[in-house]
Amino acid sequence: MVPGEPGPSWNPIIDLQLLWSFPFMVNAFRAGTIVAVLAGLIGWFMVLRRQSFAGHTVAVAGFPGAAGATLLGVAPVFGYFGFCLAAAAVIAALPRGRDAGYREESAVTGTVNAFALACGYLFIALYKGFLGGVNALLFGNFLGITDDDVLALLAVAVVALAVLAAVGRPLLFASVDPDVAAARGVPVRALSVVFLMLLGAAVAEASQITGTLLVFALLVMPAATAQRLTARPVASLALTVLIGIVATWLGLGIAYFSPYPIGFCVTTVAFAGYLLAHAARAGRFGLPRPRLAGGAT
Amino acid sequence: MTPLTRLDDAVQPSAPPAWPSTGDPVVCLRGAAARVGGRTLWRDVDLSVAAGEFVAVLGPNGVGKSTLVKTILGLQPAAAGEVRVLGGRPGRANHRIGYLPQRRGFDATLRIRGVDVVRLGLDGDRWGIPLPGSARFARRRRAAEARVAEVIDLVGATGYAHRPIGQLSGGEQQRLLIAQALVRRPALLLLDEPLDSLDLPNQGAVAALLGHVAHAEGVSVMIVAHDVNPLLAYLDGVVYLAHGAAVTGTPDEVINGPALSRLYGSPVEVLCTSDGRLVVVGAPEPPAVHADRHADRPSGARDGSR
Ligand SMILES: Nc1ncnc2c1ncn2[C@@H]1O[C@H](COP(=O)(O)OP(=O)(O)OP(=O)(O)O)[C@@H](O)[C@H]1O
Ligand SMILES: [Mg+2]
């Protein structure tokens, strides 16, 4: 909540005009939109590949990254990207079972996860004056996003999406049907490394909006909601992006007018969407109807 | 696992292929051997499959049938001998091969439609995204969609192809995967237990379909199976793997008491039931033609192809 501001008018157009009259809010919307698109698309593949645990671990690694960067007096952005990409590289380098593929994330992933959180705590403890920023690192922050930050987010997102567009179809093939894809000459192992790097980039971007603990609001929830609603890949991808953007915009609006951190607001909106999608599907395909009690006593 | 017993008289490395092969063979093995995990699974295997031939690969669990398929695909290097596929080294012409791996089905929560899985078989290995809007794009897409619909109709999966594949039954998934293997009009079909999880009428229907694909469309078909009976009417040849070696020949030449007894090195009988079905009895490892799948696995052994 930005103190001293009036509450919402509940007219979306007037509220958006109000929000966009502040340059920092404009930048927050720009950054949020870029991140929602990138995280949504990469997250769609992550959900399909059942790699959410890897995504979570990469996100958690962003926490010591940002804390360590602050400790060293460097911009947190470098910490996020450095540590998220490094964690993705570690997971990519893990030996895996002969046929387990990406489906069985090894216990090493969990080890990296716990160690990263511990390091984050250590860095924060070492940097005494920083404690107030912990909430922002873990649960997100939309204040103080500069034009340069937006440009950096955009540049990374454009590169990542270009790579995704280039490898998208073979990646889908390798995710759905790795054995046949490998026999067809699709480099399944190399694609899985490329994908983890893309995941690292997407997570590093999302962390800066939602905080490291709540990246799934943009990474998993839009994709999971869209996949619930349709099994057509193209429609599902488009819906993922749409849901991600709507959740981010609503979340930003709520965060502006309320005392809660942005990550919490986006997560709540995205989760509501997920529940609605569940309810919609359950309604469409007929839950077992509650049996009428009849006219008996 | 049983020790290796070489066959002296049943399989000679120089023996000519047992069923007539005309022209260039599509698949050709000469004295080939396979080693996985430091163990030789089979050796001195000679095999030649020509265009339009329908060949079954039989044998007990763990004998290396899936490994043979992977050797032909170039996913597993041959430990000895020569392997040639579609006129080149294995792995060179895999875009002309339709492959159905041995598997246990898709994750029930996988939210991708059957048609999408078939479509991936058509162009899933292409890089980049096509630019929508161009006339060439529209024409390509219509042709691709028509081909996918055609092949789905061929396997009789039209009724459920638009449902998420994870929600389909094992047999329905299997049919869609056969369609995926067929969609690119391959020159060679390698199917690892495609009849697995199909009921008897469907086994017959798929066998007839594969026979048609081989004999009418000139596609070479190699199929790994545990029960040869649904296939018998259509087969040109049989490769029977056991005890580290193979017998190849027409079904009559291979699936008979003396030939299998030589292969196993102990008396084996093949009984013919009144309706023409073959039953192998007395094979030292658990039932070979009628298999009780995976019941005989040593606990440490893992399935070759998921
Ligand atoms: N990559 C590997 N590393 C170690 N052992 C392997 C490997 N691949 C296969 N094997 C072993 O090789 C043997 C043959 O495997 P394969 O999958 O070819 O058998 P199969 O004849 O297809 O059996 P099934 O009828 O059960 O499918 C098995 O004992 C298996 O454990
Ligand atoms: Mg097998």
Average pLDDT over chain A reads: 85
pLDDT of the residue at B96? 94
Q: Terminal CA-to-CA distance of chain B, rounded, Å? A: 20
pLDDT of the residue at B274? 79
Judged by average pLDDT, the poorest of B44-48, B171-175, B255-259 is B255-259
pLDDT of the residue at A96? 61
Confidence of residue A290 (pLDDT cuts 50, 70, 90): very low
pLDDT of the residue at B1? 37
CA-based nearest distance A108→chain B, Å:
23
> What distance in Å separates the CA atoms of residue B39 and residue A165, rounded to the nearest whole number?
43
The domain limits of chain B are 7-105+187-301
Pocket of ligand 1 (CB under 6 A): A 98; B 36-37, 41, 59, 61-67, 102, 294, 301-305
pLDDT of the residue at A6? 63
Nearest ligand to the CA of B61 is: 1
The answer to whether the CB atoms of A183 and B99 lie below 8 A apart is yes
Judged by average pLDDT, the poorest of A54-63, A159-168, A189-198 is A54-63
Is B71 in CB contact (< 8 Å) with chain A?
A: no
Residue with the bigger pLDDT between B294 and A274: it is: A274
For the CA of B102, the closest atom of ligand 1 is 27
pLDDT of the residue at A42? 97
The predicted model gives B135-144 an average pLDDT of 87
The predicted model gives A163-186 an average pLDDT of 94
Contact assessment for residue B17 and residue B254, using Cβ atoms and an 8 Å cutoff: no
pLDDT of the residue at B300? 40
Judged by average pLDDT, the poorest of A100-104, B74-78, B263-267 is A100-104
Residue with the bigger pLDDT between B129 and A115: it is: A115
Confidence of residue B19 (pLDDT cuts 50, 70, 90): low
The answer to whether the CB atoms of A180 and B112 lie below 8 A apart is no
Q: How remote is the CA of residue A183 from the centroid of ligand 1, in Å? A: 17
Average pLDDT over chain B reads: 83
Q: How many residues does chain A have?
A: 297
pLDDT of the residue at A83? 93
Pairing of strands B245-249, B237-242: antiparallel
Residue with the bigger pLDDT between B24 and A180: it is: A180
pLDDT of the residue at B21? 57
pLDDT of the residue at A5? 58
Q: Is the pLDDT of residue A163 over 70?
A: yes
Look at the block and give the residue holding tokens 């594969």: B210
Nearest to A131 by CA among A67, A209, A82, A73: A67
The alpha carbon torsion through A189, A194, A197, A199 (nearest 10 deg) reads -90
Q: Is the pLDDT of residue A127 over 50?
A: yes
The predicted model gives B181-194 an average pLDDT of 95
Nearest to A64 by CA among A92, A87, A43, A42: A87
Residue nearest to atom 10 of ligand 1 (CA): B304
- Biggest CA–CA distance in chain B, Å, is 68
Share of chain A above pLDDT 90, in %: 49
> What distance in Å separates the CA atoms of residue B264 and residue B280, rounded to the nearest whole number?
12
pLDDT of the residue at B282? 72
Nearest ligand to the CA of B77 is: 1
Report which residue type is found at B273. Answer: T
Residues in a beta bridge with B279: B271
Per-residue pLDDT reduced to its tens digit, A209-232: 888 888 888 999 999 999 999 999
Report which residue type is found at A203. Answer: V
Is A228 in CB contact (< 8 Å) with chain B?
A: yes
Q: Is the pLDDT of residue B283 over 80?
A: no
Q: Was domain B7-105+187-301 assigned CATH 3.40.50.300?
A: yes
Is A183 in CB contact (< 8 Å) with chain B?
A: yes
Q: Is the pLDDT of residue A296 over 70?
A: no
pLDDT of the residue at A243? 96
pLDDT of the residue at B302? 40
Residue with the bigger pLDDT between B90 and A76: it is: B90
The predicted model gives A32-41 an average pLDDT of 96
Q: Is the pLDDT of residue A181 over 80?
A: yes
Task: State which residue of chain A sits closest to B94, comparing Cα positions.
Answer: A184
May I ask the CATH architecture of the domain A12-280? Orthogonal Bundle (1.10)
pLDDT of the residue at A172? 95
pLDDT of the residue at A99? 44
Q: Is the pLDDT of residue B200 over 50?
A: yes
> What distance in Å separates the CA atoms of residue B149 and residue B142, rounded to the nearest whole number?
10
The answer to whether the CB atoms of A166 and B128 lie below 8 A apart is yes
The answer to whether the CB atoms of A181 and B125 lie below 8 A apart is yes
The answer to whether the CB atoms of A183 and B97 lie below 8 A apart is yes
The predicted model gives B150-173 an average pLDDT of 92
Per-residue pLDDT reduced to its tens digit, B252-263: 888 888 877 777
Q: Is the pLDDT of residue A152 over 50?
A: yes
Per-residue pLDDT reduced to its tens digit, B98-110: 999 997 678 888 8
Residue nearest to atom 26 of ligand 1 (CA): B61
Is A189 in CB contact (< 8 Å) with chain B?
A: no
Per-residue pLDDT reduced to its tens digit, B6-18: 333 333 344 444 4
> What distance in Å separates the CA atoms of residue A223 and residue A214, rounded to the nearest whole number?
15
Q: Is the pLDDT of residue B291 over 50?
A: no
